[in-house]
Structure formats: C-alpha cells, structure tokens
Amino acid sequence: MAPWGVSIRPARARSLVFSSSNRKPRTVSGGLAPAGFFTVGDGSIDRSVAITVYAVRSGRRGFFDGLLESTSMQPASHFADRLIERMRAQGHPLCVGLDPHLARIPPLFRRGSMARGDERTSLAIEEFLGVVIDRLVGRVAIIKPQIAFFEQLGWRGIRVLDGLCQRAHEAGLMVLLDAKRGDIGSTGEGYASAYLAADAVMPVDAMTLNPYLGFDTIEPFARVAAEAGRGIFVLVKTSNPGSGDLQDCDVEGEPLFGRVADGLARIQDDLLGPKTGWSSLGVVCGASFPDQARRVRDALPKALFLVPGYGAQGAMASAAVESFVPGPNGREGGIVNSSRAILFPDSSKDAGHALDWESALDAALSAAIDELGTAIQS
C-alpha cells in the first residue's frame, strides 16, 4: 500500500507532495519551502495558489487544520449566474457525481470489512472522496454527492457528507446535493432550511427535488433558495428505464412529464438571473430521451438541465448536450453528470500505488471534459 501523506494541488496544477514520514513539503523539482509556505514548480514560494489538502492514512487527521482559511458558504446573489459563469470560463458542463459504491472503493482506500456498520468504512469513504475532490479543483465547476450512499452509513456517513461539502466549498467547488426531497408544508420547510437557507446547518448550493406530491411541495424550496441565492433541480424526465411507467402517462393528451414541465414555468420565470438570464430552477432530464428533452426545453427555455445518463450509463456527449442552446462560448444551459466513469475507471482497478490511481482518475476526468467540451462547440 502506498504511504500517502498529503498532496497539494495548485489551481491548474503542478503536483506537489508532502512526505508522510517527516511532514516536510517537497516539490517534484526537489526544492524545499520554509514552514508555512509551499513551493511551485520553479521552486519559488507562493501562498496564493489554490491549495487543496488531503491526509490519507496519515493517522494525524486534522494535522493541517488551520493551513486553509475556512470560508463559510456565503453565496453570491444568484445560483445560476455563478454556475453558468464558471462553466463558461472552464469550457465544459461536466458535473462529477460522488456515488461511493462500497464494493467499488479502490483497494488503496479500503479499511476493515467495508461493511456499512463498520466505523472504518466511513473513514475510507471520507479519504477516497476527499482525494477525488482535491483532484477536481479548478477542473469542474460543481459536484453532485448522492445522499443515499452516505445515509446507509448512519450518522457517521452524514458527518462525512457534511465534511466533504465543506471541503468542496473551501476549495471553490459548488455542491449539488442529490437528495430528491419533496414534501408538504412544514416538512418541506424543514428540508429546505436544512440545506438551502442562508443559515442552513448543512449548506449546499442546490439540491434535487421530487415534484410528484404536487407543485405546492416545490414552493418552500424555491422560496428559500431564492432568498439565499441557491438553486433547485426538479425531477421531470429521468434516465432510468422505468421512468416511462409514470412520467410518460397520458394526461389529457400530454405526457405527465410535459405537464410537470409546463407547471414549473412560473417558478422558472421567478428565479431568472440578472447576469446570464438563466434560472435557478433546474430540471432533471436524462440524456437517453432526447425527444422528451426537447419537449421540456420548449416548456422551460431558461431552466438549467441536470443531465444524467452520460458516461457509464451509455449516453454519448452529443446526446447529453442536445437540449442545450447557443451561448457566448458554445452551447449551454445545464450540467452533465458522470459518476462511476470518473470515480472508478477501469484502469484504476489494479492500481497499487497512489500515483497510478491518480493518473487513472485524471485520465478519465480529462476524457469526459474533452468530450463534453467538444460537444458544446459542435
């Protein structure tokens, strides 16, 4: 097993590494920096680089607390404006999903039995996804943790999720929580307050919602999100094979998903951004159903699409961005999620060393970025 210590990644980066044995920083060029500083590739000292730190199997959790200045999540005025501007600058719409399937966690990170009730499992997930987040800094605008994979670990999993969201925010990444909430009255208010309010105890930039209890269950989330500058993504036409069982049902000559899209138009218009014109109301619309996506786009021309189905689920990049529209730097109007293809690339299965695993993940990430970047230009 590789004796990982701490890896430092500046923005757009040159890789720097901490020795786990003596905690002294070194660069790939071998130059040492004084305590409290970090060298860049040419040996010069720079505190302005976007540093991300992960302590993997070091046994000294929290050793680097204080090296990073903690920043509370204080959103700017509008979720969609922030997201669109970041994606325009990066040139692609990739969103990386954090779905830590226990059976697929790489051997380098596995601890103990990896059973859900084993307290070491949550530590393994925390370390694995912490490293992933660090390697995403400066390369993607947003990540999407799936709450189910954390809830299955009980309170330890929720604690890990909270810490990972904080870590991502401190590193400049936006966080979309895939929780598919939706409920009536005070229950909906409680969910919205937990994640979307300005004083949320577990703040995220946006979250997914299930609308099938009725549009009144969306209202508290939309209101709280608007007040705090955050966003919502409502399930409309999902990518799973059984989505048509209900979503395609005929309702007075229209499919149910179309009725849902039509009903969300007012909320879309209420949440338009002043800079980009995009709405902080988003919708989930799978890449595997392009015809249905066009129907949704007709109903919601300013809604951001969260597009699942790309990557391991088989959809091509061109299909994933088909619902996007021309923008100043190419097609825009949503984010395309990829989870397993990034987290668990085939080439990483037998990685016996940290650098081999990092190379595999970086290659998978670059491939997705290149594919989607090309797709939005075609």
Q: What string of DSSP letters covers 327-363? A: ETTEEESEEEEE-HHHHS-GGGTT--SHHHHHHHHHH
- Which uninterrupted H or E stretch holds 95? strand 94-98
CA separation for the pair 330, 199 (Å, rounded): 36
Query: Could you read off the pLDDT of 228-264 as tens digits, one per residue?
Result: 999 999 999 998 989 999 999 999 999 999 999 999 9
Query: Could you read off the pLDDT of 31-43 as tens digits, one per residue?
Result: 323 233 232 333 3
Query: Could you read off the pLDDT of 146-192 as tens digits, one per residue?
Result: 999 999 999 999 999 999 999 999 999 999 999 999 999 899 999 99
Q: Which amino acid is at 97?
A: G
Model confidence at 21: pLDDT above 80: no
Selected residue with higher pLDDT from 371 and 288? 371
CA separation for the pair 143, 150 (Å, rounded): 15
Residue 65 banded pLDDT, cuts 50, 70, 90? very low
Residue 61 banded pLDDT, cuts 50, 70, 90? very low
Q: Is 180 labeled as catalytic in the residue annotation?
A: yes
* Residue whose entry in the numeric block shows the structure tokens 């059976």: 103
Question: What pLDDT sits at residue 195?
Answer: 98
9 vs 48, 134, 184, 321, 364, CA distance in Å? 12, 7, 44, 30, 18
User: Domains along the chain?
Assistant: 1-68 (no CATH), 79-375 (3.20.20.70)
- Residue 353, token pair as written in the block: 């060393």
Q: What are phi and psi of 5, to 5 degrees?
A: -110, -105
Query: Could you read off the pLDDT of 277-314 as tens digits, one per residue?
Result: 999 999 999 988 889 999 999 999 999 999 998 976 67
Model confidence at 267: pLDDT above 50: yes
Please report how many Cα atoms fall inside a 13 Å half-sphere around the Cα of residue 245, on the Cβ side: 4
The residue annotated as part of the active site, out of 180, 237, 275, 349, is: 180
Sheet containing 25-27: order of strands = 25-27, 16-18, 6-8, 53-55
